[in-house]
């Protein structure tokens, strides 16, 4: 067997508390390499009464099998080790290595341990989050509700955007169209930055305490939040705390006064005087007009925390999305979390991290992250077609194993955003591929987010193409796509299995099959992303199943090309 493939790490995504009475243990082997994995465990101080259980194989990817067992008991001061059983051999996997025999007299030197679990260490899931359906709005491009405050150089709404074009979208435009969002079925809005800035995107903040005048006033924002809440819609603000605008007053003071500025340590300046032509300070990416903030500086931290307190308390917002969240220091984010959660533990914290996010998702920093790794895999399967259904399932399984169950349940899932090409554009305008991807998104673990306009067939390449104005001419909407999105949202809000259910992958090469199981209900998300019909594997889905997406009973096992289905099966029927 392949011993090098065996893996376990204590106090990690392979051993973690789901609750203080539920410790979840994982073990990895090479794919199809072992007959059984047993978990021996017991209370460390009562080791004579240890027991063992066969671990469940919860899934596989291209290279590995993953096993898990949930230890549910009152006393979780645990010692544990594994027995690996193959056709040829039987041995023990311990903290001391791989052993042919386990000597109980030396157990405390050999076993892994989980010494304790504390409520304060377990990531808190905001009570509303599992039911959330997000809608991202790029404020400058959603709707112009007050032309009187639009920039002088505003271009026609239907024109193609450039990096510096202004269209006049504002807060009043969002407020006046809340009924559209309510009818669509979303219940949380993530707004791109709204604070004062000279750009159209507002990711270069000039004043963190002022609404950009082309977006409206503080009273306009208060009205938006109030009316959204009346419709059951939450509001999430975008926090840009990694960097600011070159016109931010403290940075201007440093430019003027150099080493004598009281703000010189607010930024990461290599030498004085500041040189913007040949930048001698750290900046976002390679953008001189966005100098990085020194979040390790106490004054900077307190300034930004006061900003958070002000907008959260004064305007009753529901959380923060954190821009470029992987660049500020972890100490800053730990303090940030305390500030937010002291106001209300149900406020959501969403980090923008494009890669493996485990360092930020251990309960002491973010609640969740934008799940771009899943976005990328969806692009490969639905848009590019360079992986098949089994390869897509393998990639999803590998991603799920990077995080504890609770964090997977809280992932912020998306197909596109203001930082990507539009998904329809990536699909070469194949709307059926977009709809299949949306069926996956709304059937998957975590909370889905719709980027404004994707639900009506808005298309476009990378920035600025992905930031077109929302088309309010309903006659030009792709009504098939729009109706499909509304159907998906309605089903997700109705079916608890899609919000809370366990995930199991049962895919073949041609058919993507994902089972969501909750209480007495199973829902099978079945997608055929090929140009030919496929057959459901025998004994995977019982006969006479209801397809929620077309509200009909399906009696056969043939799945037509480029179609998506939600087959619901109630146990006992």
Query: Active-site positions?
Result: 323, 352
Query: Order of strands across the sheet with 56-60?
Result: 15-19, 22-30, 64-72, 56-60
**Of 326, 290, 145, nearest to 205 (Cα)?**
290
Structure tokens at 392: 């897509």
DSSP state of 85: E
Long-range contacts of 556-562 (CB under 8 A, 24+ apart): 558/533, 558/534, 559/511, 559/526, 559/528, 559/533, 559/534, 559/535, 560/528, 560/533, 561/528, 561/530, 561/531, 561/532, 561/533, 562/432, 562/433, 562/436, 562/528, 562/529, 562/530, 562/531
| Angle at alpha carbon of residue 270, lines to 268 and 275, rounded to 5° | 100
Structure tokens at 476: 């030009």
Structure tokens at 382: 């639905």
Whole-angstrom Cα distance, residue 67 to residue 288?
A: 49
Q: How is the chain split among helix, strand and coil, in percent rounded to 5? A: 30, 25, 45
Whole-angstrom Cα distance, residue 333 to residue 351?
A: 10
Phi then psi dihedrals of residue 562, to 5 deg: 50, 50
For 225, left (φ over 0), alpha (ψ -120 to 50), or beta?
alpha
Neighbours of 391 (CB within 10 A): 18
Strand 534-535 and strand 558-559: the pairing is: antiparallel
Whole-angstrom Cα distance, residue 442 to residue 459?
A: 20
Long-range contacts of 84-87 (CB under 8 A, 24+ apart): 84/1, 84/6, 84/29, 84/34, 84/37, 85/34, 85/35, 85/36, 85/37, 85/38, 86/1, 86/33, 86/34, 86/35, 87/35
Strand runs (DSSP E) across 469-559, as ranges?
502-505, 511-518, 521-528, 534-535, 545-547, 552-554, 558-559
- Radius of gyration from C-alpha coordinates of the chain: 26
């Amino acid at each position: 067997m392949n011993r090098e493939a065996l893996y376990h790490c204590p106090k990690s995504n392979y051993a973690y508390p789901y609750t203080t009475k539920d410790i979840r243990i994982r073990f990895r082997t090479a794919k199809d390499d072992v007959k059984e994995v047993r978990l021996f465990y017991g209370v460390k101080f009562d080791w004579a009464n240890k027991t063992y259980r066969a671990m469940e194989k919860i899934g596989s990817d291209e290279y590995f099998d993953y096993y898990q067992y949930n230890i549910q008991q009152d006393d979780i001061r645990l010692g544990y080790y594994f027995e690996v059983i193959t056709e040829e051999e039987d041995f023990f996997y311990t903290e001391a290595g791989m052993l042919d025999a386990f000597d109980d007299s030396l157990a405390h030197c050999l076993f892994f341990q989980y010494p304790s679990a504390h409520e304060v260490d377990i990531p808190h899931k905001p009570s509303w989050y599992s039911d959330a359906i997000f809608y991202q709005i790029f404020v400058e491009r959603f709707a112009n509700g007050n032309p009187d405050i639009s920039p002088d150089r505003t271009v026609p709404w239907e024109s193609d955007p450039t990096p510096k074009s202004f269209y006049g979208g504002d807060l009043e435009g969002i407020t006046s169209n809340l009924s559209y969002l309510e009818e669509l079925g979303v219940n949380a809005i993530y707004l791109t930055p709204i604070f004062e800035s000279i750009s159209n995107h507002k990711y270069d903040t000039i004043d963190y305490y002022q609404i950009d005048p082309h977006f409206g006033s503080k009273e306009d924002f208060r009205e938006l939040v109030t009316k959204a809440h009346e419709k059951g819609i939450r509001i999430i603000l975008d926090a840009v705390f990694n960097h600011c605008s070159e016109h931010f007053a403290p940075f201007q003071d440093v430019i003027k006064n150099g080493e004598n500025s009281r703000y010189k340590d607010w930024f990461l300046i290599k030498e004085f005087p500041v040189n913007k032509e040949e930048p001698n300070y750290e900046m976002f990416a390679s953008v001189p007009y966005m100098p990085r903030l020194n979040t390790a500086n106490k004054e900077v931290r307190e300034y930004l925390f006061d900003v958070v307190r002000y907008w959260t308390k004064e305007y009753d917002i529901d959380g923060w999305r954190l821009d470029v969240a992987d660049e500020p220091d972890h100490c800053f984010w730990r303090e940030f979390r305390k500030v937010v959660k002291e106001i209300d533990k149900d406020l959501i914290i969403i980090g923008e991290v494009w890669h493996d996010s485990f360092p930020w998702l251990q309960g002491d920093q973010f609640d969740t992250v934008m799940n771009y790794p899943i976005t990328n895999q969806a692009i490969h399967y639905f848009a590019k077609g360079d992986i098949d259904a089994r390869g897509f399932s393998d990639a999803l399984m590998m991603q799920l194993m990077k995080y504890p169950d609770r964090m997977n349940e809280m992932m912020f899932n998306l197909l596109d955003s203001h930082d990507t090409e539009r998904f329809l554009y990536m699909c070469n305008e194949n709307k059926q591929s977009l709809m299949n991807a949306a069926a996956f998104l709304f059937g998957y673990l975590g909370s889905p987010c719709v980027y404004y306009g994707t639900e009506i067939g808005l298309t476009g390449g990378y920035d600025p193409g992905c930031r077109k104005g929302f088309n309010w001419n309903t006659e030009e909407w792709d009504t098939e796509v729009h109706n499909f999105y509304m159907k998906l949202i309605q089903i997700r809000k109705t079916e608890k299995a899609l919000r809370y259910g366990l995930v199991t992958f049962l895919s073949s090469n041609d058919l993507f099959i994902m089972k969501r199981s909750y209480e007495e209900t199973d829902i099978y998300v079945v997608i055929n992303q090929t140009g030919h019909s496929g057959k459901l594997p025998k004994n995977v889905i019982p006969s006479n199943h209801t397809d929620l997406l077309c509200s009909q009973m399906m009696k056969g096992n043939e799945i037509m090309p480029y179609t998506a289905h939600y087959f619901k099966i109630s146990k006992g029927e």
